[in-house]
């Protein structure tokens, strides 16, 4: 015979599960760090609208970390300035993060010397940025005991850093650069390009004279026009391909008709 379902036990489990989810959401909201509610953290600067999601990763050297406005720092993101906590790193900031930066869950930004991230950079999850690398000059000493090498890192504004990318010491990434997922970047990267691989190499680049080379394989996305409501978007999503194509043709015909009516046409 099939087992009888314990209705009370099922109801109690559902209620407990809901309570856990509500409680965890409260913990996340309360534990997040903002300029208005910094908790124990004392960053050098922290702009309006910036939030570090809870639970945080490792964070130390906050007086030498400057965060811009409207940044989103995901869960378990590590932000450090200096080799270890409680060091005096001098009068200048070590880690500078611009306005509108998004750091994905589980990312690490390790700034033993200066690291600069420009405005409007977006990082996928588990990106690793470091200004320090191990050295292995002495073959008789454990590598972990040898003094590391340090070089400043600079990431220009408007970049997209893919999931699992590694940005090594000395990297200087230009403006509006795409770093592919899993890429390992070192050295200088020019503006307006796509880099991929380990070590990362330029696989596509834009110049005013030639545009994107190699050419893009798909057309650019068309932004949603101003004034379009969520209800209209929902209605459009239900159209089949044939109807959508016919509407596009009608739109083109209407635009052509308006052009003919314009004075001087």
Decide if 207 contacts 213 (C-beta within 8 A): yes
Active-site choice (37, 108, 134, 140): 134
CB burial of 76-99 (b: ≥16 within 10 Å; e: otherwise) equals bbbbbbbeeeeeebeeebbbbbbb
Determine if the pTM surpasses 0.85. Answer: no
Q: Which of 162, 160, 152 is nearest to 182 (CA)?
A: 162
The structure tokens listed for 81 are 């300035």
- State how far the Cα of 133 lies from the Cα of 145, in Å rounded to an integer: 12
Count CB-CB contacts under 10 A for residue 137. Answer: 9
Question: How do the pLDDT tens digits run along the chain, 265 residues long?
Answer: 555 556 657 878 888 889 989 888 998 888 899 999 998 999 999 999 999 999 999 999 999 999 999 999 999 999 999 988 888 888 899 999 999 999 999 999 999 999 999 999 999 999 999 999 999 999 999 998 999 999 999 999 999 999 999 999 999 999 999 999 999 999 999 999 999 999 999 999 999 999 999 998 888 888 888 888 878 777 777 777 777 777 677 666 665 655 555 555 4
Residue 192 known to be catalytic: no
């Amino acid at each position: 015979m099939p087992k009888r379902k314990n209705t009370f036990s099922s109801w109690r489990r559902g209620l407990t599960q809901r309570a856990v989810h509500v409680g965890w959401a409260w913990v996340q909201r309360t534990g997040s760090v903002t300029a208005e509610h910094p908790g124990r953290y004392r960053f050098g600067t922290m702009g309006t609208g910036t939030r570090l999601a809870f639970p945080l990763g490792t964070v130390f050297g906050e007086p030498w970390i400057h965060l811009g406005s409207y940044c989103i720092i995901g869960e378990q993101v590590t932000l450090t300035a200096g080799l270890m906590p409680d060091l005096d790193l001098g009068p200048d900031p070590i880690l500078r993060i611009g306005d509108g930066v998004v750091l994905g869950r589980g990312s690490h930004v390790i700034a033993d010397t200066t690291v600069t991230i420009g405005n409007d950079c977006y990082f996928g999850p588990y990106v690793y940025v470091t200004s320090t690398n191990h050295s292995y000059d002495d073959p008789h000493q454990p590598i972990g005991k040898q003094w590391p090498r340090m070089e400043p890192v600079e990431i220009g504004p408007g970049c997209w850093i893919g999931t699992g990318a590694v940005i090594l010491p000395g990297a200087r990434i230009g403006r509006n650069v795409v770093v592919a997922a899993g890429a390992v970047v070192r050295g200088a990267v020019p503006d307006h390009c796509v880099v991929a691989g380990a070590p990362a190499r330029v696989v596509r680049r834009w110049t005013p004279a030639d545009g994107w080379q190699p050419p893009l394989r798909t057309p650019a996305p068309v932004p949603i026009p101003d004034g379009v409501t969520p209800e209209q978007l929902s209605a459009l999503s239900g159209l089949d391909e044939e109807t959508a194509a016919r509407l596009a043709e009608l739109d083109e015909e209407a635009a052509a008709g308006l052009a003919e009516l314009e004075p001087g046409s």
